[in-house]
């Protein structure tokens, strides 16, 4: 088991044991659905309340660098914070779940998956596509474009992606990528 998978297992187990809702996204989700590639960080969307700060500090402080003030600030501003695994220096970005109707739906649609010998929660493939479309629209990133081309060539719920791509303002970009 690679270091990043061991750390994902540890983080997932700790969050599940403490009933903190989360889902894996970003390059780890891409690795799960399509194309394994090197990554040195883990992206996790998480739903937190102020009272979760002490829980996070308790469950992670022994093996990870964690800053409770950064967590408090992230919760207050609905942003992100990170923890860093002390030994491997792998960074885990915790992205606070946004409060829009779509982001709530995306979070509700997360799926329980098995990676090697553990369970975790993963963004759905359709919502990963929509998030990558949104990122590509903002950044014009070639990496996002390559990821999207790979994702769009796989099986997914096209009706769902079409519907929400219109709502998110990325339908034209989706059409452009699908039509080459």
Does the pLDDT value for residue 176 go beyond 80?
yes
Predicted TM-score of the model (pTM):
0.91
Cα Rg of the chain, angstroms: 16
Q: Mean pLDDT, to the nearest integer, of 83-90?
A: 96
Q: What is the pLDDT of residue 37?
A: 66
Does the pLDDT value for residue 100 go beyond 70?
yes
Q: What is the pLDDT of residue 169?
A: 96
Q: Mean pLDDT, to the nearest integer, of 131-146?
A: 88
Q: Mean pLDDT, to the nearest integer, of 83-99?
A: 96
Q: Using one digit for the tens of pLDDT, what is the confidence trace for 20-71?
A: 999 999 999 999 998 666 666 899 999 999 999 999 999 999 999 999 999 9
Q: What is the pLDDT of residue 38?
A: 66
Does the pLDDT value for residue 180 go beyond 80?
no
Determine contact, residues 165/174, Cβ cutoff 8 Å.
Answer: yes
If you write DSSP's letter for every residue of 59-114 in order, what string do you get? Answer: HHTTTEE--HHHHHHHHHHT-EEEEEETTT--EEEEEEPP-SHHHHHHHHT-EEEE
Q: Using one digit for the tens of pLDDT, what is the confidence trace for 110-127?
A: 999 999 999 999 999 999
Determine contact, residues 62/47, Cβ cutoff 8 Å.
Answer: no
Q: What is the pLDDT of residue 13?
A: 98
Q: Using one digit for the tens of pLDDT, what is the confidence trace for 141-175?
A: 888 888 899 999 999 999 999 999 999 999 999 99
Q: Which domains does the chain have, with CATH numbers?
A: 3-123 (3.30.460.40), 126-178 (no CATH)
Q: What is the pLDDT of residue 39?
A: 67
Query: Alpha-carbon torsion 131, 74, 51, 26, what sign?
Result: positive
Q: What is the pLDDT of residue 141?
A: 80
Query: Alpha-carbon torsion 123, 124, 125, 131, what sign?
Result: negative
The tokens for 22 are: 């989360």
Cα–Cα distance measured from residue 74 to residue 49, given in angstroms and rounded to the nearest whole number? 10
List Cβ neighbours of 48 (8 Å cut-off, separation of 6 or more): 20, 56, 71, 74, 75, 94, 96
Determine contact, residues 5/38, Cβ cutoff 8 Å.
Answer: no
């Amino acid at each position: 088991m690679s270091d990043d998978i061991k750390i994902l297992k540890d983080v997932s187990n700790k969050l599940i044991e403490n009933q903190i809702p989360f889902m894996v996204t970003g390059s780890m989700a891409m690795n799960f659905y399509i194309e394994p590639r090197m990554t040195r960080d883990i992206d996790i969307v998480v739903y937190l309340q102020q009272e979760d700060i002490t829980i996070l500090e308790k469950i992670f402080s022994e093996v990870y660098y964690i800053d409770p003030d950064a967590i408090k600030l992230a919760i207050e501003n609905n942003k992100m914070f990170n923890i860093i695994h002390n030994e491997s220096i792998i960074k885990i970005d915790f992205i606070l779940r946004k409060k829009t109707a779509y982001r709530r739906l995306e979070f509700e649609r997360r799926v329980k998956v098995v990676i090697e010998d553990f369970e975790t929660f993963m963004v759905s493939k359709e919502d990963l596509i929509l998030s990558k479309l949104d990122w590509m629209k903002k950044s014009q990133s070639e990496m996002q474009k390559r990821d999207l081309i790979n994702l769009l060539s796989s099986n997914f719920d096209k009706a769902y992606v079409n519907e929400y791509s219109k709502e998110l303002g990325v339908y034209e970009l989706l059409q452009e990528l699908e039509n080459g």
